[in-house]
Amino acid sequence: MRMRQAWAWLGPILLALVALPAAAAEYVALPGGSFTSVLPADGKDAPAQVAPFQLRREPVTNAEFLAFVKSHPQWRRDKVASILADARYLTQWAGPDAPGEQALPQQPVTRVSWFAAQAYCESEQARLPSWYEWEFAAAADATRRDARDDPAWRESILGWYSRPSNAALPSVGGTSNAYGVRDLNGLVWEWVDDFNALMVASDSRDQNDPDILKFCGAGALSLQEKDNYAVLMRIAMLSALKAADTTNNLGFRCAKSE
Amino acid sequence: MKRLYLCFAAACFTLAACSNKPAPPDQTTATPSASTSVASERGDFGPPQGEPIHAVLTSPPNVPPPIHRNYPAKVIVELEVVEKEMPISEGVSYTFWTFGGTVPGSFIRVRQGDTVEFHLKNAPDSKMPHNIDLHGVTGPGGGAASSFTAPGHESQFTFKALNQGIYVYHCATAPVGMHIANGMYGLILVEPPEGLSPVDHEYYVMQGDFYTTGKYRQKGLQPFDMEKAIDENPTYVLFNGKEGSLTGDNALPAKTNEKVRLFVGNGGPNLISSFHVIGEIFDKVQPEGGTHPQENVQTTLIPAGGAAIVEFRTDVPGSYVMVDHSIFRAFNKGALGIIKVDGPEDKTIYSGKEVDSVYLGDRAEPNLQAVSTAAKAHAAGTLTQDEQIAAGKQLFTGTCSVCHQPNGEGLANVFPPLAKSDFLAADPKRAMTIVTHGLSGKITVNGHEFDSVMPPMAQLNDDEVANILTFVLNSWGNPGGRITKEEVAKARAAAPAAPAAEH
Amino acid sequence: MKYLLPALAMLWLLLGGVARADTPLPGDSVYQLPVQLTDQDGRQQPLASRRGRPQLLTMFYSSCQMVCPMIIDTMRMTRNALDPAVRPRIDLLAVSFDPARDDVATLHDYAAKRKLAPAIWTLARAEPSQVRQLSSVLGLQYRQLPDGDFNHSSELILLDADGRIAARTTVIGRIDPAFIEAIGKVAAVRDGEE
C-alpha cells in the first residue's frame, strides 16, 4: 500500500520534471480566416485562406534551445553538418552547450538556420509557421486584430527595422497583441516554413517582369500593398536567405495545426 | 607490374589535371584587340590582361588617383555595406545605411573595357539584406539581381564596363526609396581609354535629400519618415550626407590658378539638383556625365540618380560656395559646401569693394510727409505758407542741398550761397526761372564772384519749385515772401526752352 | 601472369569502394538530410542510399504542363550529350513537389508515357515536410497556388558521389556546355580518388 502511494507521488513529480521544458512553451489559438496578404495567393489579388492554428506565444529562447541541443547533440555547433547550418551557427554562445554571459537565457535565440529551427519545432511536436500564418498573426497590434491600415502603427514598426542590430537583444515577453502573441514585431526576424516560396525577384524593381520560365508560368510574385514597408522588408529579408543561413537577428517560433 | 599500373594511373590523373589549366594572360598586347562585335563600339576591348588589380576605393570627398594603363584589366572591387548611426547635423543623428561606412559610398574608379569582379559584403550586424545597382553595368538590374546579400554574407558578380562616364550606384532592395533615402548611393567613374585631362584637384561631392520625422535641426536620433519621402518633402538636402561636411575645416582646399574638377552626383531619392558654385563659372561641364562637354556654364542640372563632371580654373582667392540653387534648400535645409581658395589677390579680375559713398537717391529725406500734406492741401485749396515752407524744406534737402549745402552756405568759389543772399533779395521772382531753366555766366553774390553752370532742375514740377523757393525765401535771413505754383508755371512758360536736364 | 594486372585493378577498385563507405560523410553533403524516397515502382529508399554514384537531380510535378516536360527533356538531352563512357556512371533522379497528387501509380504512368527507363530514371515522392527540406537543401523554390498548381524554380543539379552539389544549371530546353563539362569531370574521377 505504502509503496504504491510512494509511486503515486513520485510518478507525477518525475513526469513534471521531464515535461518541464515542454510546459514552458505556451501556444495561443488563432482563428484563421480569409486574409488580404501582401503576397496574393494566385499571384494577382486572391486573399489567403488561413486555417485555424496555434502559434507559440513567444519566440524560442536561448534556454529552450540549449535544452534542445543537449538532448539532440547532432545540433551542437561543433557537430552539425555544414549543409544544415552555416559557420556562424550559435557562435554567440560561449560554448557548444553553454550560452555563457552574452547570451542570456530569456533572450530569443538567434544565429539558427532554418533546418535547426525546423528540428527544434519537431522536438516540440510542432512545425514552423507558414508565411501566411505569420503575417496573419503579425497584423495585430495590442487592441486590433488587423492594424495594418493605421499609418502610425506601420511607421512604428518601420522604426525598428531602421535601427541596426548591434545592441544587445531584449528578453522575450513584450506586450501581447490582440491574439495574445508577443514579440512578433520589433524583436527579431523570424523563420517561416515556406521561406523559399517567397519567390520575389531579387531585384525588387522587376515586378511583373515576364520571365515566365523562371518560375514555371508565373514570373516573380508581385507585391500588393506597397505601403506596408515593414512587411516588404521582412519578405526581402527572408527571400535573401538560404536554408542553412544564420544571422544575428534571425530567430523563430513554432506553430501547430489545429 | 604494380609500378606499371601506378604509372598509368598517375598519367591519367596528370592529363586530366592539365586539360583544366587556363591559358596564361598575354601581357604584351597594349592595343585593343580588333573585334567585329557591336560591343566593341562601346568599349569592349577584349579579354582582361595582366594580373588582377585590387581597386583602390576612397571615402568622400577624395577620389582615387587617375588610372595610367593602356590595356583592359580585371579589377577586383570589394565593397562592404554597414548600417550605422552618424551625425546628420549639429546635435542630430540618423541611422544611415552605407556603402563602405560613408554617405555617399566609396568612390570606384575603373577604365572603359575593364572586367570588374564585384564583391558585395553585408556586415553581420546589419538588419537588412542589401544589393547594388551600378548604373555603369550593362546587365539585368545593373547587378541588383546578382548581388542580393543577407546580413553576414557576401555576393560576387562580374561585369564589363562597356561605357565610359560617371555613374551612380545605389541599393535596390525593397523598399528601394527607403534604402536610397538612408544614404545607399555613390559614384563609379569609368575612365575613357585615354584617361581624363590632368587637373590639380579632383573632388567627390554627392547631393541627397533626407526625410526625418523631426523638424530641421530638431535634436536627437531622428527616424526615417516614409510619408515625407512619398510626399517629396525633405527635412534636409545635403552634400555628402551631413550638414557641414564641406564647410569650415572640411572645406575643399585649392590654390589660385589651379584647375579643379568636381565629380558631382545626386543620389536623390527625389530631388533634382541645380548645382552652382557661387563666384565661379564652370569652364567645362559634362552634363549628366555624358561624353561631350559644354562650356561656360553657371548652373547645371543633375538629375536624381545622375551625375555630372564640372571643371573650372581658380583665379582669385576666397570662399566659393557650392549650392543647390533651388535656394531655400541651400540656406534652410543645408545644401551648402565650400571650396576654399588661397593665394595672391588679382585685382584686375576681381577688385573687391572700391568705393563706399553715400547715395541719397532722388528723395534723400526718408520722411516726405510734409510734401504729401502740402500736395493734399493744394488740391483742397487750403495750402498755407507754412505748409509750403515745410514741404520745401524736405524737397530742398533732397535736391538743392547737395550743392548749396543744407544750411544754404554754398561752396566758396563753386556754388553761390542762398543764405542772406543779396542776389536773391534783389529779385526773388528771378529765382523761378533760374531753377527751371538753369543759369550760367558770371554773377556776384554777397561780394563774391561765381562763374559756374547751374543746370536746369527740369525734374522739379511747378509746386515743388514753389515750395522750395518759399522755403529758401523764408530761411537764413532771406527777406521772406511766397511763391505760388501758378507763378512758377507762368515763369516757366515765358522763358526760352531749357536745355536737356543734367543732374 | 596476364590476369594479374586486371585482378589487381579489380582489387584496388573494390578496396577503394570499401574504403569510401567507411569515410565520414562530408558536412556539405546533401545526404546529411534524412529524406525517405518512394520511387515509381513503390520501392522505398533513403536519399542517402544513392551515395557512391554522381546524381543528376531535379524537382518537378507530373501535372505541370509548362516547364516540367522541358525539364525532363533537358535531363534526357543532357545525358545523351555525355561521353558514352560517362553516361552509365550517373543516375537520374526527379523528385515531385506534389506528393499529394503524385502517388506511386501516377509516377509510374508518367514514366511509362515519357519512356523513362527505370534502370536510368528514378521518379520519386517524399512526405510534404521532407519535400520542403529537400528543396531548401538544393536551393530550389516552390509555392503552391490555390488551384493546386505550383510555381517553382527550374534547375538541373549535379551531385558528386558523396552528395555534394558540384554544379547546377538554369538552362532549360537546350544543352548547357559548361554543365556537361562539369558532369564529365565529376564522373571521370575514378572510384576511390577524391
**Per-residue model confidence as pLDDT tens digits over B292-313:** 999 999 999 999 999 999 999 9
CB-side exposure of B361: number of CA atoms within 13 Å?
4
- Average of pLDDT values for C40-59? 94
Structure confidence at residue B9 (pLDDT): 42
**Per-residue model confidence as pLDDT tens digits over B329-384:** 998 999 999 999 999 888 888 887 776 665 655 544 556 677 777 877 877 888 88
Instruction: Compare CB distances from B5 to C5, C188, C193 and report the shortest one's residue.
Output: C5
Q: What's the angle, vertex CA A19, arms to CA A17 and CA A25, rounded to 5? A: 125
Instruction: Compare CB distances from B125 to A164, A189, A245 and report the shortest one's residue.
Output: A164
Q: Which residues from chain A sit within 8 angstroms of residue C25, using beta carbons?
A: 81
- Residue A229 within a domain: yes
Which residues 126-165 of A have a C-beta within 8 angstroms of B? Answer: 151, 154-155, 158-159, 161-165
pLDDT at B260 over 60: yes
Structure confidence at residue A224 (pLDDT): 58
- Residue A155 within a domain: yes
Average pLDDT, rounded, for chain B: 86
- Residue A8 within a domain: no
Structure confidence at residue B1 (pLDDT): 52
How many domains, in total, are found in chain A?
Answer: 1
- Nearest chain B Cα distance for residue C5, angstroms: 7
Structure confidence at residue A45 (pLDDT): 76
Neighbour tally for B457: CB within 10 Å: 20
pLDDT at A210 over 80: no
Helices (H), chain A: 2-24, 62-71, 114-123, 131-138, 151-161, 229-239
**Rounded CA gap, B499 and B480, in Å?**
30
- Average of pLDDT values for B245-255? 94
Structure confidence at residue A15 (pLDDT): 53
Structure confidence at residue B8 (pLDDT): 43
Structure confidence at residue B446 (pLDDT): 92
- Average of pLDDT values for A215-222? 50
Is there a contact between C154 and A213 if contact means CB atoms under 8 Å apart?
yes
Please give the distance of CA A104 from its chain centroid, rounded to a whole number.
Answer: 19
Q: CA torsion sign, B110 to B116 to B122 to B123?
A: negative
**Rounded CA gap, B181 and B226, in Å?**
9
- Nearest chain B Cα distance for residue A186, angstroms: 12
**Per-residue model confidence as pLDDT tens digits over A71-108:** 999 999 999 999 999 999 999 999 999 999 889 999 99
- Average of pLDDT values for B26-32? 41
Instruction: Give the least confident one: A254-258, B119-123, B320-324, C21-25.
Output: C21-25
Query: For residue B436, what is the enclosing H or E element?
Result: helix B430-437
Instruction: Compare CB distances from C29 to A49, A83, A218 and report the shortest one's residue.
Output: A83
Structure confidence at residue B11 (pLDDT): 43
pLDDT at A24 over 70: no
pLDDT at B25 over 70: no
Query: For residue A48, what is the enclosing H or E element?
Result: strand A48-50
Answer yes or no: is the ipTM higher than 0.95: no
Q: CA torsion sign, B77 to B81 to B85 to B88?
A: positive
pLDDT at A29 over 90: yes
pLDDT at B70 over 70: yes
Is there a contact between C33 and A84 if contact means CB atoms under 8 Å apart?
yes
Q: Does A241 touch chain B (CB under 8 A)?
A: yes
Is there a contact between A194 and C143 if contact means CB atoms under 8 Å apart?
yes
Q: Does A240 touch chain C (CB under 8 A)?
A: no
**Rounded CA gap, C105 and B107, in Å?**
61
CB-side exposure of A155: number of CA atoms within 13 Å?
13
Structure confidence at residue C151 (pLDDT): 83
Instruction: Give the least confident one: B60-64, B170-174, B247-251, B401-405.
Output: B401-405
Give me the amino acid identity at C110: Y
Structural contact between residues A63 and A106, judged by C-beta atoms closer than 8 angstroms:
yes
- Nearest chain B Cα distance for residue C52, angstroms: 20
**By C-alpha distance, which of B265, B349, B258 is closest to B311?**
B258
Structural contact between residues B466 and B437, judged by C-beta atoms closer than 8 angstroms:
no
Q: Which residues from chain A sit within 8 angstroms of residue C129, using beta carbons?
A: 118, 127
Q: Which residues from chain B sit within 8 angstroms of residue C188, using beta carbons?
A: 16
Instruction: Give the least confident one: B150-154, B333-337, C47-51, C142-146.
Output: C142-146
Task: Give the nearest chain B residue to A236 (CA atoms).
Answer: B174
Q: Which residues from chain B sit within 8 angstroms of residue C9, using beta carbons?
A: 5
pLDDT at A215 over 60: no
Chains that touch C (3 or more CB pairs under 8 A): A, B
Instruction: Compare CB distances from A247 to B140, B152, B227 and report the shortest one's residue.
Output: B152
**By C-alpha distance, which of B486, B411, B393 is closest to B454?**
B411
Q: What's the angle, vertex CA C106, arms to CA C101 and CA C110, rounded to 5? A: 125
C43-50: long-range contacts at Cβ-Cβ below 8 A with a sequence spacing of 24 or more? C47/C134, C48/C163, C50/C91, C50/C93, C50/C159, C50/C163
Structure confidence at residue C178 (pLDDT): 93
Rg of chain A over Cα atoms, rounded to whole angstroms, equals: 20
pLDDT at A205 over 70: no
Q: What's the pLDDT band for A165 if we cut at 50, 70, 90?
A: low
- Average of pLDDT values for B77-91? 95
Three-state secondary structure call for residue B423: helix
For cell 557548444, what's the residue?
A96
**Per-residue model confidence as pLDDT tens digits over C133-171:** 999 999 898 888 878 888 888 899 999 999 999 999 988
Q: Among B97, B121, B128, pick the best mutation site for testing chain A contact (most A Cβ within 10 A).
A: B128
**Whether the bond into B32 is cis, omega within 30 of 0:** no
**Rounded CA gap, B156 and B143, in Å?**
10
Q: Does A215 touch chain C (CB under 8 A)?
A: yes
Which residues 6+ apart lie within 8 Å of B430 measured at CB? none
Q: What's the pLDDT band for B6 if we cut at 50, 70, 90?
A: very low
- Average of pLDDT values for B38-61? 86
- Domain of A98 in residue numbering reads as 24-257
Structural contact between residues A88 and A111, judged by C-beta atoms closer than 8 angstroms:
yes
- Nearest chain C Cα distance for residue B289, angstroms: 37
- Residue A14 within a domain: no
How many beta-carbon pairs under 8 angstroms link B with C? 14
Task: Give the nearest chain B residue to C1 (CA atoms).
Answer: B1
Structure confidence at residue C65 (pLDDT): 79
Distances (CA, A) of B137 to B33, B144, B176: 22, 10, 18
Which residues 6+ apart lie within 8 Å of C15 measured at CB? C192
Q: Which residues from chain A sit within 8 angstroms of residue C142, using beta carbons?
A: 196-197
Q: Does A82 touch chain C (CB under 8 A)?
A: yes
- Average of pLDDT values for B262-281? 96
Domains and CATH numbers, chain C: 29-186 (3.40.30.10)
**By C-alpha distance, which of B51, B191, B183, B172 is closest to B108?**
B191
What phi, psi does A57 have (nearest 5°)? -65, -35
Q: What is the 3-state secondary structure (H, E, C) of C132-168?
A: HHHHHHHCCCEEECCCCCEEECCCEEEECCCCEEEEE
- Residue A15 within a domain: no
- Residue A247 within a domain: yes
- Residue A10 within a domain: no
Which residues 6+ apart lie within 8 Å of B391 measured at CB? B370, B371, B373, B374, B375, B467, B471
Q: What's the pLDDT band for B21 if we cut at 50, 70, 90?
A: very low
Cross-strand partners of B452: B441
Q: What's the pLDDT band for B18 if we cut at 50, 70, 90?
A: very low
Q: Which three cell numbers stand for residue B443?
A: 554773377
**Chain C residues with CB-CB distance to B under 8 A?**
4-5, 8-9, 185, 188, 190, 193
Q: What's the pLDDT band for A219 if we cut at 50, 70, 90?
A: very low
Q: Which residues from chain B sit within 8 angstroms of residue C8, using beta carbons?
A: 1-2, 5
Neighbour tally for B440: CB within 10 Å: 11
**Whether the bond into B175 is cis, omega within 30 of 0:** yes
- Average of pLDDT values for B227-240? 95
**Per-residue model confidence as pLDDT tens digits over C66-112:** 788 889 999 999 999 999 999 999 999 999 999 999 999 999 999 99
The CATH number of whichever domain residue A144 belongs to comes to: 3.90.1580
- Nearest chain B Cα distance for residue C143, angstroms: 20
pLDDT at B36 over 50: no
**Rounded CA gap, B280 and B296, in Å?**
10
Q: Which three cell numbers stand for residue C165?
A: 552539389
- Residue A55 within a domain: yes
Structure confidence at residue B41 (pLDDT): 63
Which residues 6+ apart lie within 8 Å of A198 measured at CB? A39, A131, A221, A235, A238, A239, C143
Percent with pLDDT over 90 in chain B: 61
Q: What's the pLDDT band for B31 if we cut at 50, 70, 90?
A: very low
Q: Which three cell numbers stand for residue B266?
A: 545626386
Structure confidence at residue B44 (pLDDT): 83
Neighbour tally for C159: CB within 10 Å: 27
Q: Which three cell numbers stand for residue B159?
A: 561585369
